[in-house]
């Protein structure tokens, strides 16, 4: 059903500066993404989410937007984006952009020309703290003689959504990009658009710290999401709204779907923040399944530009455990989103102190290092260091036993077997250290995330994909034995 194409899709996050460099200046660009569409089509990707591509002073590398309807000259032009949308579309790949509605750059003309678009106070009114490095979320502006709010960096003033003129500006921005064929948006900090009108203190709970009750998570935000969903629905096909509704409270998170009238997808960070541990992950998925409103659809990710790479964080650089993580992400009920390099089991890069460019502490740069295309990297003097290239596209594409080929086969299997995309999720009994579930009536996924071999009983079917690739095609009737860090997909016999 084209209106909900994202339910069957595999999304792929591209950090533009680090993906592919077409002009050799060391900075990835839109033309570079276009040059790699053949690779992404071969891999089986359905849509690309681009981190911000707009003009920006790059204090927070694009998340401090100075022009919401332009393209940063480092990355290309509006014509380059139009070409990318068209060429990706010809390959059946959609393009999503990043929308940053919580704040702009202090270099955006609005900050000086329309100060009423921002949140101001004559004195620091509350205890709100900046997420980037702590300290007060209020900074004094010499020109205005007042304090302005910034939940992130001081150069990222928060917008005042209580001003009725802000919402029409963002509707204009959405229409600008929707009219140019963009398939939708990932919405940055979708939970924080509105602030408490009275600017009340956030509660501080002993031992737990600040609870962001008034600086974020305000109920008025749901009205904006409903308006955007209605706007997205006026297009054919409807445009996608994918939210970064960053709450680990599953009930609060689930509220951002509304009654099917708010977000289409929302990242389920409850899983992302779990260890690669059967009990933790099983519990996180069960909580999400229980909290989801009827017909709502989660989005699963193990890596992104903020949290780093799953091959390091979850798997400690181990390829077998990384394959287990990829098998999990691509077979749970929901839409998976891979971060560039996940398919290679790419680990976090080595960024020395003198090379750090991130404004946040700790630095997120190790998770943003360039994509290694060749054994030598395929870059000239890249903007972030590329020091380890043993996991690269050229070598893995030539090796049928590589993690890249494993990921490609996994995506193809997901596409071929409807139960792996749309079948119900049903957890089944598994020994300690293992996690197993059925998708519909035709597929079973079993992962051994423990240190000892396990057996999962009452299995009848054929092994369609194995993380070690050696047992594929084997028929199982009875117990399925899994070695440590091994995963398998068993499908009903034809």
List b or e across 56-82, with b for residues whose CB sees 16 or more CB atoms inside 10 angstroms: bebbbbbbbbbebeebbebbbeeebbe
User: Are 259 and 293 in contact, with CB atoms under 8 Å apart?
Assistant: yes
Q: What residues form DSSP beta bridges with 466?
A: 488
Annotated active-site residue 275? The verdict is no
Catalytic residue among 188, 264, 319, 342: 188
d(CA 205, CA 213): 12
CA angle 403, 405, 408 (to 5 degrees): 110
d(CA 111, CA 415): 47
Q: What residues form DSSP beta bridges with 159?
A: 118
d(CA 117, CA 393): 45
List b or e across 264-287, with b for residues whose CB sees 16 or more CB atoms inside 10 angstroms: bbbbbbbbbebebebebbbebbeb
**Beta strand pairing status for 11-14 and 47-50?**
parallel
List b or e across 386-413, with b for residues whose CB sees 16 or more CB atoms inside 10 angstroms: beebebbbebbbeeeebbbbbbbbbbeb
User: Are 376 and 350 in contact, with CB atoms under 8 Å apart?
Assistant: no
d(CA 110, CA 218): 24
Is 3 in a helix, a strand, or coil?
A: helix
Q: Give the dihedral sign, CA 61/66/67/71.
A: negative
HEC string for 165-177: CHHHHHHHHHHHH
- H/E stretch holding 459: strand 454-466
Is the preceding omega at residue 316 within 30 degrees of 0, hence cis? no
Annotated active-site residue 123? The verdict is no
For residue 158, report the phi and psi dihedrals to the nearest 5 degrees.
-75, 140
Give the distance from CA 349 to its chain's centroid. Answer: 19
User: Are 216 and 151 in contact, with CB atoms under 8 Å apart?
Assistant: yes
**Beta strand pairing status for 240-243 and 184-187?**
parallel
Catalytic residue among 74, 244, 287, 486: 244
Q: At what angle do helices 221-232 and 166-178 cross, to 10 degrees?
A: 30
Residue carrying the six token digits 């598994």: 430
Enzyme catalytic residues:
188, 244
């Amino acid at each position: 059903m084209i209106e909900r194409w994202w339910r069957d899709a595999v999304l792929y996050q591209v950090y533009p500066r680090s993906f592919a460099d077409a002009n050799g200046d060391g900075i990835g660009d839109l033309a570079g993404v276009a040059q790699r569409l053949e690779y992404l089509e071969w891999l089986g990707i359905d849509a690309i989410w681009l981190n911000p591509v707009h003009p920006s002073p790059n204090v927070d590398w694009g998340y401090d937007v100075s022009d919401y309807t332009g393209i940063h000259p480092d990355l290309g032009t509006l014509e380059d984006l139009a070409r990318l949308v068209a060429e990706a579309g010809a390959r059946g790949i959609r393009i999503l952009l990043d929308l940053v509605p919580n704040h702009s750059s202090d270099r955006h003309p609005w900050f000086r020309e329309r100060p009423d678009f921002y949140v101001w106070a004559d004195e620091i009114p509350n205890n709100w703290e900046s997420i980037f490095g702590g300290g007060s979320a209020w900074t004094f502006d010499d020109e205005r003689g007042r304090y302005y709010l910034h939940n992130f960096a001081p150069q990222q003033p928060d917008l005042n959504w209580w001003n009725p003129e802000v919402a029409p500006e963002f509707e204009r921005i959405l229409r600008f990009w929707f009219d140019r064929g963009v398939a939708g948006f990932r919405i940055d900090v979708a939970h924080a658009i509105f602030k408490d009108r009275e600017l009340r203190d956030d509660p501080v709970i002993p031992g737990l710290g600040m609870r962001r009750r008034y600086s974020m998570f305000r109920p008025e935000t749901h009205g904006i999401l409903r308006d955007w969903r209605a706007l997205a629905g006026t297009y054919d096909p409807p445009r996608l709204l994918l939210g970064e509704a960053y709450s680990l409270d599953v009930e609060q998170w689930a509220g951002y779907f509304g009654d099917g009238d708010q977000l289409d997808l929302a990242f389920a960070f409850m899983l992302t923040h779990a260890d690669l541990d059967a009990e933790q992950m099983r519990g996180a998925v069960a909580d999400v399944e229980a909290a989801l409103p009827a017909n709502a659809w989660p989005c699963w990710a193990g890596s992104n530009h903020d949290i780093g790479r799953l091959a390091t964080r979850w798997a400690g650089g181990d390829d077998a455990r990384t394959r287990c993580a990829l098998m999990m992400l691509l077979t749970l009920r929901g839409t998976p989103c891979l971060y560039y390099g996940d398919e290679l089991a790419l680990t976090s890069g080595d960024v020395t102190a003198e090379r750090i460019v991130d404004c946040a502490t700790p630095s997120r740069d190790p998770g943003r290092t360039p994509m290694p295309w060749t054994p030598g990297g395929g870059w000239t003097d890249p903007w972030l260091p590329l020091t380890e290239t043993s996991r690269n596209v050229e070598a893995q594409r030539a090796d049928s036993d590589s993690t890249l080929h494993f990921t490609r086969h996994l995506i193809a299997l997901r596409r071929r077997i409807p139960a792996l995309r749309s079948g119900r999720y049903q957890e089944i009994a598994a020994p300690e250290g293992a996690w197993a579930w059925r998708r519909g009536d035709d597929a079973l996924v079993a992962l051994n995330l423990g240190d000892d071999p396990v057996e999962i009983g009452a299995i009848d079917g054929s092994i369609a994909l194995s993380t070690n690739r050696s047992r594929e095609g084997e028929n199982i009737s009875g117990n399925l034995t899994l070695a440590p860090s091994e995963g398998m997909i068993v499908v009903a016999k034809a």
